[in-house]
Amino acid sequence: MTSAQPRYLRPGRFVRAIRMDAFVAFLVRRGVNVWGSRVLSVRGRKSGEMRTTPVNLLTFDGEQYLVAPRGHTQWVRNLRAAGEGELRLGDKVQRFTAIELPDEAKPALLRAYLKRWAWEVGAFFDGVGPKSTDEELRAAAPNHPIFRLTIEP
């Protein structure tokens, strides 16, 4: 399902009202690991200022990945432009470089991501879940950018 316009799903009214992202970011900045959440910092492609947002860090086959459940968000666009960023959990900051994966490399990663976080992000995947076929996951892949991270020592 490829469209001319990259897909982006805005947070719903309820999520915006309770400011869930802000609450998770508050906890993560204080060192509380909320199901693998980190605060992502990446330089804005227009402003040049550091921008932050909570993300779920996926570890799969010894590698670390960021998956964009809401699609082609601002953090995705900024990370594409910058190619690097930081992940924070409490006082621990990890600098990284990122490479965006092609769609054909995504099915196993999407399955692993949904297996862990479908309860939180499943609504953004249009019925695709951890038990979906590879074909269904491949069809969803263009709507969900994934970056492989190389953490700096």
pLDDT tens figures, 18-56: 455 666 666 656 665 656 789 999 999 999 999 999 999
Instruction: Please check whether residue 34 is in contact with residue 20, taking contact to mean a CB–CB distance below 8 angstroms.
Output: no
* Rounded Cα distance, 24 and 31, in Å: 11
Q: Would you state the pLDDT for residue 2?
A: 43
Query: In the chain, how many domains are there?
Result: 1
CATH number of residue 52's parent domain: 2.30.110.10
What mean pLDDT comes out for the span 114-134? 92
Is 23 within the bounds of a domain? Answer: no
Which DSSP letter does residue 12 get?
A: P
* 141 falls within a domain: yes
pTM of the model: 0.82
Instruction: Residue 71: give the domain boundaries.
Output: 37-151
